[in-house]
Amino acid sequence: MAVPAHTLRVVFALSALACSVILVLFVRGRAAWTTGFWVQLVAAAVAVAAVLCWLVFRHGRLRLVGVPSGPFFRVFLLQLMLGYVASALAITAIALAVIYWVTRSGADSLALAVLAGLWLALWLAPGVAALTSWLKLRSMQSNDA
């Protein structure tokens, strides 16, 4: 049984939307949380995610054609685990540098950076896994031909 053609696109789009909501909240999070704020948040997050998806999906990228479900799940789950670990480490390192620069407190900075890295990587990793899985599956199909 083949995987639906737009599976990776859906995963990437949802990850991009979640990350764009977090980004908009980070930029505008100190504003009053009124109804207008939430409407602006959703509009800005959808706009950011739409632009990102348009850039990534051009020229048929992240579209699967005739990929069996067995190899797809093996590749995607491995890429998801690797993407989560890599994203968590990268976000933790960046957050540690930024938080330590602001607070000058090592233990508090490390705790907050690890928490931020583990939490933000949950939303970023599926998008990264979709991209890397598509590249891996595409190269596997070209090797088979």
**Sequence-separated (6 or more) residues with CB below 8 Å from residue 116:** 91, 92, 95
Interval 1-37: pLDDT, tens: 889 999 999 999 999 999 999 999 988 878 888 899 9
Interval 49-70: pLDDT, tens: 999 999 999 999 999 988 999 9
What pTM was estimated for this model as a whole? 0.88
- Angle subtended by helix axes 106-144 and 7-28, to nearest 10: 160
